[in-house]
Structure 1
Amino acid sequence: MSVAREVNFPQDARLFEEGARADRFWIIRSGTVTLDVRVPGRRPPVIESIGFGELVGWSWLIPPHVWHLGASALSPVRAYEFDAAQVRELCEQDREFGAAIEMWVAKVLAHRLQAARTRLLDLYAPYGSGAA
């Protein structure tokens, strides 16, 4: 938390765009953030809505450090913002801390990939995701 700062986003604020440089991440204190993905010829569908205590952004950890999704504030959001370069440096200095961060982000990433798959199947596959 020594490298965190408190930030606020108004409703409808864009936190980041898919393909842009991923140089920070957030942990939500209050409010909701939606994650979306570009789909050619269509409006970006919302993949997932995330809230209190959840991580916004994982692309900062994995080179080439560009966002793989986009994010917007669905409601006013209060969050802790972390500078990615500082956190990566802390991970390099303390391997145990770094391993814990990597495992945490890996779990978030696995969940987000599954959510994206399910949502895109629901939107575009002939029979949806098959999830009941």
Structure 2
Amino acid sequence: MSQAREVNFPEGARIFEEGARAEAFWIVRSGTVTLQIPLPTRRPAPVENIGPGELVGWSWLFPPYTWQLSAEAMTPVRSYEFDATSVRMLMDADPAFGSAVGHWVGRVLALRLHQTRTRLIDLYAPRIATAG
């Protein structure tokens, strides 16, 4: 937490955009952030809602350090912001800390992948079943 600073985002604020440089990450204190996939001719498709105590952003940990999704504050959001470069340097300097952070982010990724898979099944399984 010594690396954290408190930041607030108003409702509707774009926190980051897919393809931009991932230079920070956040832990939500209050409010809701929606992760989105930008679509060329439509509104972004929501992927996941992130709430208090949850991590926003994982692309900062993996080269080439560019966002894989976009994020928007769906309500006013209070959060802790962490500088990605500083945290990566701390991870390199302290292998136990680095391992702990890596495992934490890995668990978040695994959970979000599972939740996305479940949503896709919910969306497409009824269509597949009736098409056959």
Decide: shared fold, TM above 0.5: yes
Gaps of 5+ in 1: none
**Could you say which structure has the larger radius of gyration?**
2
Relative to the length of structure 2, the TM-score reads: 0.89
| Aligned pairs (5 A) from 1:60-75 | 60-75=60-75
Structure 2 distance, partners of 1:110, 1:35, is: 15
Select the structure that is richer in helix. 2
- Structure 2 residue aligned with 1:105: 105
1:37 aligns with 2:52: no
Aligned to 1:52: 52
Distance 2:96 2:11 in 1: 37
**In structure 2, how many angstroms separate the alpha carbons of the residues matched to 1:41 and 1:121?**
24
Q: Give unmatched runs, 5+ long, in structure 2.
A: none
Percent identity over paired residues: 60
Is residue 94 of structure 2 the alignment partner of residue 94 of structure 1?
A: yes
Measure the CA separation in 1 of the matches of 2:37 and 2:121: 13
Q: CA-atom RMSD, angstroms? A: 1.9
What is the count of residue pairs matched by the alignment? Answer: 129
Question: What is the alpha-carbon distance in structure 1 between the residues aligned to residue 128 and residue 99 of structure 2?
Answer: 33
> Any runs of at least 4 consecutive aligned residues in structure 1 with deviations exceeding 4 A, and if so which?
none
Counterpart position of 2:126: 127
Kept in 2: contact 1:5–1:82 (CA 8 A)? yes
Are 1:17 and 2:17 matched, yes or no?
Answer: yes
Deviations 1:27-83 (A, max 9, x none): 011111011112344322111111110000000001111111110001000000000
Structure 1-normalised TM-score? 0.89
Secondary structure at the counterpart of residue 42 of structure 1? coil
Alignment-derived partner of residue 27 in structure 2: 27
Cα distance in 1 between the residues matched to 2:90 and 2:59: 17
* Residue 82 (structure 1) aligns with: 82
The 2-side partners of 1:66 and 1:23 are apart by 8
